[in-house]
Every structure is written in structure tokens, then in C-alpha cells.
Amino acid sequence: MFNFILFGPPGSGKGTQSEKIVGRFGFIHLSTGNLLRQEIQDRTPLGMEAKNIMDKGQLVPDEVVVGMIDSCLEKHRDAKGFLFDGFPRTIAQAEALDKLLSLKKTSIRKLLALDVTEDELVKRLLKRGETSGRSDDTDEVVIRKRFNVYKAETEPVAAYYERDGKLERIAGEGSVDDIFKKLSGLIQTEIDTQQSVSAQ
């Protein structure tokens, strides 16, 4: 199994690149943001609770998102690999993910981190807010709050994986296709390395 985390601040292109990566490599895409928005659309109790939190730019409790990830991993037992997008977002989530994966005798290969400046991120999100219908995109105060939460709670997750030599930083500005080339090159290298190890 090949499991990757696509990491980066709000608006860095995780969702955009995930779609392309999943199209090329056939992994299962797990975006906790998308899963939560589906709960909101279905008007479930979990969705209603999450909406209040998301509209303020804060994080949904760890146990809620870890529970969602756990059931998705169960649902796709035969997956070739998983691409995590927007998860893990705290050290506690990273620890929980490592545990869940080790129970399945697998682990994270790499955390691929997209680097984008804050000004570019605000610009992208305000622009998307004009059409996306995402309530957390329209108000610059909420967008800035999402960045602050990212810096305080999520950025340390990169260092957590760096300790194991799993962090790869990628410049996240430029054309979508150029960024995809860099990401898919890194993923392909991991797959080739694994195949040459198993051939020995």
C-alpha cells in the first residue's frame, strides 16, 4: 500500500492536486473537509455540529475526524493506497493515523507539503469564495483565522513526519500542471523504489 499525505495551508492546492494524483495513481482520496461538507449537506447531527465550527475557521474535534477516517479505511480494505488531504491537522490526529495504519500493517510513505505565501492564499480563497458557496471562503477574517489555526496546530505535523525523514517540500505556486509534475515525480519514485526492493 502507498499512503501519502498532501499537506499545506488553506488554499494551497491540496484538493486540486489530489484529484489529479488520484486520477493518475488510482489511490483513494480521503479529504476530511469534503467528508464534513457532505455531512452538512446531508443535515446529519455531526454535520450540524461541524458547520458551526467550520464557519468560524476552527478545527472540528480530533475524535470526530479520526472516527471518519477509521471508517473510510475499513470501507476500502483493498485499496492500492490512500491520499490524505487536510488530515492529519494536529499531532494527536497524526498519532492516531499512524496507529490505524500500523494495525493494517502499513504506514505513511511521505508527507508532501505545498508551500504558498499567505498573500497568494488569501487571493485564491477570496476568488473561490465568489462562486464556491463555501461559507468559510467569503469572509477575510475567517480566512485569516484558518491560517492562524494552521500555523498553531497544523504546521507542527510537518515536523512530526520530518523526524522520520518523510517530509518533502514542494513549491506550491506556479501552474497547476507544473506542480502536479513535481508531485507525481515524487510519488512515482516511491513506487519504483518499493518495486525494486521487492524484486530483490
Instruction: Name the residues annotated as catalytic.
Output: 14, 89, 128, 134, 146
Residues 78-114: b if buried by 16+ CB within 10 A, e if exposed: ebebbbbbbbbbbeebbebbbeebeeeebebbbbbbb
CB 115 within 8 A of CB 169: yes
Q: Which residue do the cell numbers 476500502 mark?
A: 76
Please give the DSSP secondary-structure letter assigned to residue 49.
H
Candidates 3-11, 41-49, 100-108, 189-197: pick the segment binding ligand AP5 (CB under 6 A).
Answer: 3-11
**Dihedral, 52, 153, 131, 122 alpha carbons, nearest 10:** 130
Is 59 or 79 the residue whose CB approaches ligand AP5 more closely? 59
Instruction: Convert residues 92-121 into a mask of x (bound to ligand AP5 by CB under 6 A) and - (unbound).
Output: -x----------------------------
The grid coordinates of residue 41 equal: 449537506
Position 15 contacts Mg ion (CB under 5 A):
yes
Q: What angle do CA 54, 60, 62 make, to 5 degrees?
A: 165
Binding to ligand AP5, residues 126-185 (CB under 6 A) = 128, 136, 146, 176, 179
Position 19 contacts Mg ion (CB under 5 A):
no
Candidates 11-19, 100-108, 159-167, 189-197: pick the segment binding ligand AP5 (CB under 6 A).
Answer: 11-19
CA-based end-to-end distance of the chain: 18
Position 30 contacts ligand AP5 (CB under 6 A):
no
Binding to ligand AP5, residues 56-75 (CB under 6 A) = 57-60, 65
Distance CA 88, CA 108 (A): 11
- Among 135, 132, 157, 183, residue whose Cα is nearest residue 65: 157
Is 22 or 191 the residue whose CB approaches Mg ion more closely? 22
Residue 200 Cβ vs ligand AP5, minimum distance, rounded to whole Å? 37
Candidates 15-23, 52-60, 137-145, 179-187: pick the segment binding Mg ion (CB under 5 A).
Answer: 15-23
Judged by the rule CB under 5 A, the positions of this chain that interact with Mg ion are 14-15
Judged by the rule CB under 6 A, the positions of this chain that interact with ligand AP5 are 8, 10-16, 32-33, 36, 53-54, 57-60, 65, 86-87, 89, 93, 124, 128, 136, 146, 176, 179
